[in-house]
Amino acid sequence: MASAIIVDGLEKSYGTKKAVNCISFNVNQGEIFSLLGPNGAGKTTTVEILEGLRERDAGRIEVLGMDPWRQGYELHKRIGVIPQGFSFFDKQKPVEAIQYYAELFGVKVSAQKILEKVILEEAADTVFEDLSGGQRQKLGLALALVNDPEVLFLDEPTTGLDPQARRNLWNVIQGLKEGGRTVLLTTHYLEEAELLADKVAIMNHGEIMTSGTPEEIVSKYGSGKKIVIKGGEGVYSAIVRSGISGAFRNDNGEVSVPVRDRRDIISLVTSIESAGVTWGDIRTEEDSLEDVFVKLVGGTMDEGELRSKGVREGNSP
C-alpha cells in the first residue's frame, strides 16, 4: 500500500531542549494512525512539522510525496488540520466559517452537508464563542474538511471534552475513514487510540517507544496470557512443586501463572487437585495496551489520561 506519510529520522530541538529525537514511522493511505503519548512527548511538534508549520532540524519527511516545509503552499490544499486547542473568531457562525474557508480554498461546498457530516447542524447559526467545547472541535473538523483533504491531522481533538462529547466526536472521526482518508491523530487518551486507530505509535520524551497495531504492540511487549487462581500459600507451593515455572503470588490472595500453551492449563489444574489444596475461581488474563504503556513509558493512567512519571528521567524501552 502506498504511504501517505513517511517520517525517517526526524529530529527537532527548541534551543537545547530536544523535542523530537530521531523518530521514524510510515502511515499508509486510508489508515488512521495515532501518536499516543503524554503531554510534552513531542506529538504536536511532530505534527506541525508534517503540516509544514515548523522547520525540522534533521530527517526525511514526505506527506503525499511532498516536502511540507518547502512545498507547504501546495500541500495545504490537500490536507486538513485541527490544530491543538483549535479556536476561531468569536463572532462567526459555523456556516460563515465554512463559507470563509471555501472562499479561501476557492471551492464550492455545501455548508449544510459538511455540518451534517460532523453532526453540527443544530449549531449552524450559533456564534463561535457560544459553542460548547465539543461543538467547537466539530467546527474545527468541519473546516478541516472544506477542501476535501486526502490527509487529516487531528491534534488532540478530544482533549478537555466531557466523556459524552468525546464519544460523540469519536463517531464522527470513525465516519471520516469511510471516505478513504488518511488520518494522523494525536492523543493522550489510550481508549481513543485503541478505539479509532489502525496503528498506534507510543511516544514519550521525543522518542517512539514502539508502533504497530494495538494487538501487535500488546503481543510484543505484553507479558502474554496468564492464569489467575484464587488460593493461598497451598496453591502456590503446589504449583511450584509440580515444576511449573513463573508462578507469582499477588497481594490479594491470587496466584498468577504465565501460560504458553492451552495444555499448560490442564497440567496446572491437575497438579493443584492432586495436591489436595482448596482453590477458588480460575480465569485467564492478558496485558492490555494500558499495561504495555505503563511498562514502556513508566507512566500512570489518570482518568483515562496518560501521564508520564517525571519529565526528564530517561525512559528507554
Partner 1 sequence: MNLKRVYADFKVYRREYLRNRLGLFFALAFPVIFILLFGAIFSGAGSSSVAVYVQNLDANSNVSAAFIQSLNSTGVLNVKVVDISGNLSNYLLSHSLSNGIVIPRGFASDYENGKSVNVTVYTDPADSTSGIVLGAVSGVINGFNLKRVGASPVVGLNSATVNAHSTKYIDFLVPGLIGFSILTSPMFSMVNVTAEYKKFKRFKQLSLTPLTKGEWLVSKVIWYTILSFAAFVLMVFFGTAVFGANLRLSLIIIPFLIAGPTLFISLGMLVGIVTKSIESAGVIGNIITFPMMFLSGTFFPISTMPHFLQLVARFLPLYYVIAGLNDVMVFSNISTAYYNLAVTVAIAAVIFVLAARLFKWKEK
Ligand X SMILES: Nc1ncnc2c1ncn2[C@@H]1O[C@H](COP(=O)(O)OP(=O)(O)O)[C@@H](O)[C@H]1O
Establish if 58 lies at the interface with partner 1 (CB under 8 A): no
Q: 188 vs 226, which CB is nearer to Mg ion?
A: 188
- Give the interface size with partner 1 as a residue count (CB under 8 A): 28
Q: 100 vs 170, which CB is nearer to partner 1?
A: 100
CB of 269 to ligand X, least distance (A): 47
Q: Of the ranges 93-101, 202-210, 236-244, 253-261, which one interacts with partner 1 (CB under 8 A)?
A: 93-101
Q: Which of 8, 14, 107, 116 binds ligand X (CB under 6 A)?
A: 14
CB of 121 to ligand X, least distance (A): 31
Establish if 83 lies at the interface with ligand X (CB under 6 A): no
Establish if 87 lies at the interface with partner 1 (CB under 8 A): yes
Cα-based distances in Å from 256 to 6, 225, 229, 234, 235: 42, 10, 6, 14, 10
* Backbone CA torsion sign across 35, 40, 44, 50: negative
CB of 36 to Mg ion, least distance (A): 12
| Partner from ligand X, partner 1, Mg ion, none contacting 77, C-beta within 5 to 8 A by type | partner 1
- The footprint of Mg ion (CB under 5 A) covers 43-44, 84
Q: 81 vs 208, which CB is nearer to partner 1?
A: 81
DSSP string covering 61-87: EEETTB-TTTSHHHHTTTEEEE-TT--
With a CB cutoff of 8 Å and minimum separation 6, the contacts of 179 are none
**Amino acid at position 19, single letter:** A
Distance, in Å, from the CA atom of 209 to the CA atom of 222, rounded to the nearest integer, reads: 14
Q: Which of 41, 146, 161, 217 binds ligand X (CB under 6 A)?
A: 41
Establish if 45 lies at the interface with ligand X (CB under 6 A): yes
Establish if 19 lies at the interface with ligand X (CB under 6 A): yes
| Partner from Mg ion, ligand X, partner 1, none contacting 40, C-beta within 5 to 8 A by type | ligand X
Establish if 54 lies at the interface with partner 1 (CB under 8 A): yes
Q: Which of 1, 17, 178, 252 binds ligand X (CB under 6 A)?
A: 17
Return the number of other C-beta atoms located less than 10 Å from residue 53's C-beta.
17
Residues within window 107-136 making contact with partner 1, judged by CB under 8 A: 127
Establish if 70 lies at the interface with partner 1 (CB under 8 A): no
Burial classification of residue 26, based on how many CB atoms lie within 10 Å of its CB (0-12 exposed, 13-18 middle, 19 or more buried)? middle
The SS3 of residue 245 is coil
| Partner from ligand X, partner 1, Mg ion, none contacting 45, C-beta within 5 to 8 A by type | ligand X
Q: Which of 40, 83, 234, 258 binds ligand X (CB under 6 A)?
A: 40
**Would residue 190 be called left, alpha or beta, if left means φ above 0 and alpha means ψ between -120 and 50 degrees?**
alpha
Cell numbers that stand for 301 in this block: 493512567
* Strand 199-204 with 207-212, pairing: antiparallel
Q: Residue numbers of the site for partner 1 (CB under 8 A)?
A: 48, 51-55, 72-73, 76-77, 79, 81, 83, 85-87, 89-92, 96, 100-101, 103-106, 127
Q: Residue numbers of the site for ligand X (CB under 6 A)?
A: 14, 17, 19, 37, 39-45
